[in-house]
Amino acid sequence: SKGEGVLAGRKVVITAGPTREAIDPVRYISNRSSGKMGYALARAALAQDAEVILISGPVSLPAPPGVEMRHVTTAQDMHEATHDCIGNADIFIAAAAVADYRPADEKTQKIKKSGETMSIELVRCPDILQSVAALPRAPFTVGFAAETENVDEYARGKLENKKLDMIIANRVGADCGFDTDDNAANVFWSDGEQRFAKTQKSELANRLIALVAIAPEHICGVIVSVETAVRTNTVGDNHIELLLLELAACILVDVLGFSRKTDRERRRLQRRY
């Protein structure tokens, strides 16, 4: 189906996996992220004919064929790789579990044990997601929120604080979320939400990509895809309805100067024409 997917002609940048922050030449700080969700999203976007760049921390997954890979190790590497290729991206999805802190200085020699306790000073890593959302010509920016409690409330907080277009919230814990093959998700955007029951990450990824592709603020970018989306039946009936409503709203914004959109959204719509 080359060229007929809902993301044909779109560039999608995705971060995935953990980062590693070196303590000394043999030790690092990292987390339990397997990269499975980010890799599944890359495959799903590729299946919808997007050009996909996957910026991946160290994981043990094979590179999805057809996806352009950028392998990185640290949060700083991931930050640089992201900004290197984000320029003309249409969609950015931050699925990586980026370290929030790294050791203040990386020791050049292995640290030897001495006292009964020891401490390592940590400093903040750059927030990649926030830095992309803050770009003057930001792509449609999607974040993840992995929470152990108050999932919806914390996720909505991140949507607002980081000025994201959409956030995908997961409950994580000993039994779910990280390093598993299935996942559930609650997705929030400025004026809507959708809940996805627990399913295989590959299936969840397909549904999330379908949602991102027809997301309201992105709608002008997919006008050309509406016809193929309907023909290939890749979006559900209720989405088609939403799509048509939003198209009508875009035309009102543009032709009549009527606006129910924020400045930021309007700028993005204008960029699309």
Residues that bind ligand CTP (CB under 6 A): 15, 75, 94, 96, 98, 100, 125-129, 143-146, 158
15 or 183, CB closer to ligand CTP?
A: 15
Taking phi over 0 as left and psi of -120 to 50 as alpha, with beta for the rest, 105 belongs to beta
Q: Least CB distance from residue 96 to ligand CTP, whole Å?
A: 5
Which residue's structure tokens are 């750059």? 126
**Residues annotated as part of the active site:** 31
Closest to ligand CTP by CB, 82 or 206 = 82
Taking the complex as a whole, the smallest distance from the CB of residue 3 to ligand CTP amounts, in Å, to 30
For residue 188, the minimal CB distance to ligand CTP (Å) is 13
If 0-12 CB within 10 Å is exposed, 13-18 middle and 19+ buried, where does residue 206 land? Answer: buried
CA-nearest of 78, 86, 160, 76 to 125 is: 76
Write the single-letter amino acid at 129: L
Looking at the Cβ atoms of 13 and 249, the one nearer to ligand CTP is 13
Nearer to ligand CTP, 21 or 49 (CB): 21
Helix, strand, or coil (residue 129): helix
Q: Using alpha carbons, list the distances in angstroms from residue 171 to 149, 157, 207, 239, 257.
A: 7, 15, 18, 26, 42
In angstroms, the CA 190 to CA 213 distance is 16
DSSP, res 18? B
Contact indicator for 6, 234 with CB cutoff of 8 Å: yes
Cα 38 to Cα 46: distance, rounded to the nearest angstrom = 12
Least distance from ligand CTP to the Cβ atom of residue 208, Å: 13
Amino acid at 140: F
Closest distance to ligand CTP from the beta carbon of 130 (Å): 7
Of residues 153 and 241, the one with the C-beta less far from ligand CTP = 153
